[in-house]
Amino acid sequence: MPLYDLTIHEARALLDAREISATELAQAVIDRILAVDNDVKAYLTLTPEEALDQARAADAARKEGRTAPLLGIPVAIKDVICTAGIPTTCG
């Protein structure tokens, strides 16, 4: 199964078992978005570099033994939620 198709539960289990990294997971999701979003048009704004930076930080935290339920899990934020440094258009 492609990494972009994993459920949160499946992704978390693979991250916890260190079978995948958060960076690999994020890159798979980014690649999938870039491959299909011209047709799907689900995203107004993409921040792939920020996502990869956050994924690398999650990988570093996991290596240090720190964890949290969603650490390393990619998420999309609906455009009606204000986020620092990213336009909110409610569109």
Mean pLDDT over all residues of the chain? 96
- Report pLDDT for 87: 86
Domain definitions of the chain by residue range? 1-91
List phi, psi (to 5°) of 86.
-125, 130
> Residue 42 CA to chain centroid, in angstroms?
15
Q: Could you report the per-residue pLDDT of 9-38, keeping only the tens digit for each?
A: 999 999 999 999 999 999 999 999 999 999
- For residue 83, what are the β-bridge partners? 86
Q: Cα torsion for 2, 22, 89, 83, to the nearest 10°?
A: 160
